[in-house]
Copies of this chain bind each other. A is one copy, B any other.
Amino acid sequence: MRAVGLITEYNPLHNGHRYHLQQAKQLSGADCTVAVMSGNWLQRGEPAILDKWTRAQLALQAGVDLVVELPVFYATQPAHLFARGGVEILGALGVDSLVFGAEHPELDFERLTTALAEHTAAFKHYNATYATQFNAALKAATGVTLTHANDMLSFCYYVANQRLAHPMTLIPIQRQHADHGEAAITDTHFASGTAVRKAAFAQQWDELAGVVPASTLHQLRTQRLQRWDDFWPLLQYQLLTASIAQSGSYDQMAEGLEYRMHEMAQTATDFDDFIHQVKSKRYTYTRLQRVATAALLQLTQTEVQRAQTQNYVRVLGFNTTGQAYLHQVKKTLSLPLYTKINKDLRLHALSLDYRAGRVYQLINGASQDLYRKPWRLDESFG
């Protein structure tokens, strides 16, 4: 059995994601689809609108065969680390190909990757703080600037894929229809994630019915929906009580930013107000939201970096095909496989995901790790 991989957030799963899945099957000719999906905290530094279990269930209902979780220490990171985490997991699962959307799939990502790899000195500066600087290095090496989010992410998949012992076949596809940032539903079949979330909070069920599967619509209508403002009282409290040194230790906190965050937390009235007050030319909103996520979860740079060296395959759900595939690759897995949590995992290997889920649970109310086991589509949904 051959598998195709997708690296996803499904926040929440909409028609664009179904198109992506269908393309992945068609272009790869694979027998099994594997989605690595962010858990309860996302790459843009925000809580998922629906929890990871609900989103995994929706993925299975949409036809994904196996859903595994992208750990929080990769999911809430800048593109190159987000990509690395996802590619590592797919690589460990022996996936043959990876299909992903790009604004410009015609770009010769292979050539760009090779050209940049030769500029190893510049490449070493590639981290969260210096993403712009990195793009400059790319431009110097290749003449190309990647200004679109998914072109950049696509490039990161190529870089990450080169690190694998057995690289996957990479298949970029054209991103269709709605832009990532489009805030309103303007099409009857497709809408951006932003537009879908906005409509869900506004309870515009009729508009949503056209752009998300029925199962997503049902979950949006019946589950508690999470957003940053739900967690703002906790974040504010944290920033008001943590020492400057402690805040300075949080992941992705830039030099001096902890003072600014402490100060703005004194008077900010909600999360948006807070982020707007902290915003300066130096930092993007996304970066600030990721730092806020690290502060909320008290994720320190030290523990995140340590965790990144100990990636794993955490199974959230599968159908019969996914189960057969998992069985096929189990013996050759190059990363630990976790299907259920126990006290040892909660305190050690899975501690950061557990913490991230436990905070999410404070608002969402549903256990995110304890007493949970992977969905089995054929049993759960008959």
Alpha-carbon separation in the docked complex, A172 to B246 (Å): 45
Q: Is A290 an interface residue (CB 8 A)?
A: no
**Which A335-380 residues sit within 8 Å CB-CB of chain B?**
355, 358-359, 362
Query: Residue A298 contacts which of B243, B266, B296, B303 (CB distance < 8 angstroms)?
Result: B243
Residue interface mask A243-280, B partner, CB < 8 A = 1:
10010000000000000000000100000000000000
Note all chain B residues with C-beta closer than 8 A to A233.
233-234, 362
A359 and B240: CB pair below 8 A?
yes
Note all chain B residues with C-beta closer than 8 A to A298.
241-243, 246
B236 and A362: CB pair below 8 A?
yes
Note all chain B residues with C-beta closer than 8 A to A300.
243
Query: Residue A246 contacts which of B246, B266, B359, B362 (CB distance < 8 angstroms)?
Result: B246
Q: Is A201 an interface residue (CB 8 A)?
A: no
Known contacts A246-B246, A266-B358, A358-B266; is A237 also within 8 Å of B240 by CB? no
Q: Is A217 an interface residue (CB 8 A)?
A: no
Q: Is A297 an interface residue (CB 8 A)?
A: yes
A297 and B241: CB pair below 8 A?
yes
Query: Residue A234 contacts which of B234, B246, B266, B355 (CB distance < 8 angstroms)?
Result: B234
Alpha-carbon separation in the docked complex, A291 to B368 (Å): 28
Distance to closest chain B CB from A14 (angstroms): 31
Note all chain B residues with C-beta closer than 8 A to A238.
237-238, 241
Counting every copy of the chain, the complex holds 2
A355 and B237: CB pair below 8 A?
no
Note all chain B residues with C-beta closer than 8 A to A242.
298
Note all chain B residues with C-beta closer than 8 A to A243.
298, 300, 303
Distance to closest chain B CB from A29 (angstroms): 45
Alpha-carbon separation in the docked complex, A321 to B339 (Å): 72
Distance to closest chain B CB from A364 (angstroms): 14
Alpha-carbon separation in the docked complex, A269 to B242 (Å): 24
Alpha-carbon separation in the docked complex, A241 to B303 (Å): 13
Residue interface mask A214-249, B partner, CB < 8 A = 1:
000000000000000000011011101111001000
Note all chain B residues with C-beta closer than 8 A to A234.
233-234, 237
A362 and B237: CB pair below 8 A?
yes
**Which A276-299 residues sit within 8 Å CB-CB of chain B?**
296-298
Alpha-carbon separation in the docked complex, A242 to B359 (Å): 11
Alpha-carbon separation in the docked complex, A64 to B167 (Å): 79
Alpha-carbon separation in the docked complex, A246 to B298 (Å): 11
Q: Can you spell out 25 A-B residue pairs with CB atoms less than 8 angstroms apart?
A: A233-B233, A233-B234, A233-B362, A234-B234, A234-B237, A236-B362, A237-B238, A237-B359, A237-B362, A238-B238, A238-B241, A240-B355, A240-B358, A240-B359, A241-B297, A241-B298, A241-B355, A241-B359, A242-B298, A243-B298, A243-B300, A243-B303, A246-B246, A246-B298, A266-B358
Q: What residues make up the interface of A, taking CB atoms closer than 8 Å to B?
A: 233-234, 236-238, 240-243, 246, 266, 296-298, 300, 303, 355, 358-359, 362
